[in-house]
Amino acid sequence: CSTNYLQHFCFYENSMNDKSIEEQYVVNNMKEALENDQFIIYLQPKYDLRTNTIDGAEALVRWNNPEQGLISPNVFIPIFEHNGFIVNLDFYIWDQVCKLLRRWLDEGRPIYPISVNISRVDLFNPKLVDTICALVNKYNLSPKLLQLELTESAYTSNPQLIKKRMASLREKGFTILMDDFGTGYSSLNMLKDIIVDILKIDMRFLSDCEIPGRGENILGSIVRMAKWLDLLVIVEGVETAEQVNFLRSIGCEYVQGYYFSKPISIGDFETLIAKKSTF
Ligand code: C2E
Ligand code: CA
Ligand code: CA
Ligand code: CA
């Protein structure tokens, strides 16, 4: 590669190759990884701003790879969503979370609802609702303990289907969070048709805001609208004390983010809640 153009081209080619090598690795090893319990759950605490206490956690998967260490879900989730393996992984994660909740109950530990992520691919599974109900029954749990995070972008591709699934899950007593609210193209349109319990907004969506103060005004308006609609709001990606003060001032109920805690291992989460659940 001698000219600039070619340099650019070669760089592009290489990164494409790296990507497909990475993808090959993921695909070749996914089944074995699931069988060998290499997918592990990290928990990121959620806090209630009204009481300054922990009020739950989100389960986030990591691949504990013997050769490469912890691999981020951003690397393998898109691949699994593409090849369908996400359905197996998500079922495994939900099962592990229910098992954990059962253990906490049996050990008499303080108990908090844990939210799990539901991929838009899972929504196509006609047995989804039965599968999730069977899990909470298997571990004899209240559906209130397993919260379900559905990403807003799922709505765009199949509004009727998501509407149906959400309605039946809510009917069974599950709490539904609309993840990444406001980043898709149909947030408001969706809200007029679908009943959810909690809107989840990523603070980081304000970071590329070109007009100073605009993002904050929009966030404030979403929280006011949520109150009118009887919805709760959780803001994630909270990193600074200023953000916490702002969110408090607009009446946001829940927060999650590095300012409070990064996602941590189950053991560390248990230590955290045994030590102190306030901030
Ligand atoms: P998400 O559901 O929107 O999760 C939030 C992501 O933001 C997590 O990344 C979390 O670690 C990160 N985060 C939380 N607070 C902060 C903060 O203050 N600052 C910054 N910079 N980041 C923060 P993570 O764990 O890498 O997960 C990425 C995505 O992978 C998730 O986005 C979710 O879409 C997907 N994912 C993770 N676990 C699962 C799973 O078990 N099933 C499915 N289907 N998807 C999952
Ligand atoms: Ca095993
Ligand atoms: Ca989520
Ligand atoms: Ca999110």
How far is the CA of 197 from the CAs of 1, 96, 175, 177, 219, in angstroms? 56, 24, 6, 6, 18
User: Is residue 75 exposed (0-12), middle (13-18) or buried (19+ Cβ within 10 Å)?
Assistant: middle
User: How many angstroms does the Cα of residue 10 sit away from the middle of ligand 4?
Assistant: 35
- Six-digit token string for 19: 């990507």
Which atom of ligand 1 is found nearest the CA of 121?
44
Greater pLDDT, 62 or 16: 62
Mean pLDDT rounded to a whole number for the chain: 91
CA of 3 to the centre of ligand 4 (A): 42
At 2, is the pLDDT very low, low, confident or very high (cuts 50, 70, 90)? very low
Least confident residue range of 191-195, 239-243, 245-249: 191-195
Q: What's the residue count for the chain? A: 279
* pLDDT the model gives residue 148: 98
CA 72 to ligand 1 centroid distance, Å: 9
Q: What percent of the chain has pLDDT over 90?
A: 76
Bigger pLDDT: 13 vs 150:
150
Over residues 206-239, the pLDDT tens digits come to 787 788 888 899 999 999 999 999 999 999 999 9
Ligand 1 pocket test target in 30, 76, 77, 183 with most atoms within 8 Å of CB: 77
- Average pLDDT over every residue of 9-20: 63
pLDDT of residue 125: 93
Section 121-148 average pLDDT: 97
Mean pLDDT for 169-185 is 92
pLDDT at 37 over 50: yes
Q: Looking at residue 121, what is its pLDDT?
A: 94
pLDDT at residue 16 is higher than 70: no
CA of 169 to the centre of ligand 4 (A): 20
Q: Of 89 and 22, which is predicted with more confidence?
A: 89
Tens digits of residue pLDDT in 149-161:
998 877 777 888 8
For the CA of 122, the closest atom of ligand 1 is 44
Mean pLDDT of 52-74: 96
Q: Pairing state of beta strands 198-202 and 232-236?
A: parallel
Query: pLDDT tier at 14 (50, 70, 90 boundaries)?
Result: low
Which amino acid residue places its CA nearest to atom 22 of ligand 1?
237
56 Cβ inside 6 Å of ligand 1: no
User: What sections of 40-116 are H helices per DSSP?
Assistant: 73-83, 86-106
pLDDT tops 90 at residue 12: no
> Which residue, judged by its Cα, is nearest atom 27 of ligand 1?
73
Cβ(92) – ligand 1 distance below 6 Å = no
CA of 181 from ligand 4 middle (Å) equals 8
Report the distance separating Cα 97 and Cα 10, nearest Å.
45
pLDDT of residue 13: 55
Dihedral pair phi/psi, residue 56, rounded to 5°? 155, -170
C-beta separation of 93 from 61 below 8 A: yes
Does the pLDDT of residue 261 top 60, yes or no? Answer: yes
Please, which pLDDT band fits residue 202 given cuts at 50, 70 and 90?
A: very high
- What's the mean pLDDT in 117-138? 96
60 lines ligand 1 (CB under 6 A): yes
- Return d(Cα 244, Cα 232) in angstroms, integer: 16
Among the atoms of ligand 1, which is closest to the Cα of residue 180? 3
pLDDT: which is higher, 77 or 182: 77
Q: Which of 201, 84, 197, 187 has the alpha carbon at shortest distance from 146?
A: 197
d(CA 35, CA 53): 37
**ipTM strictly over 0.90?**
yes
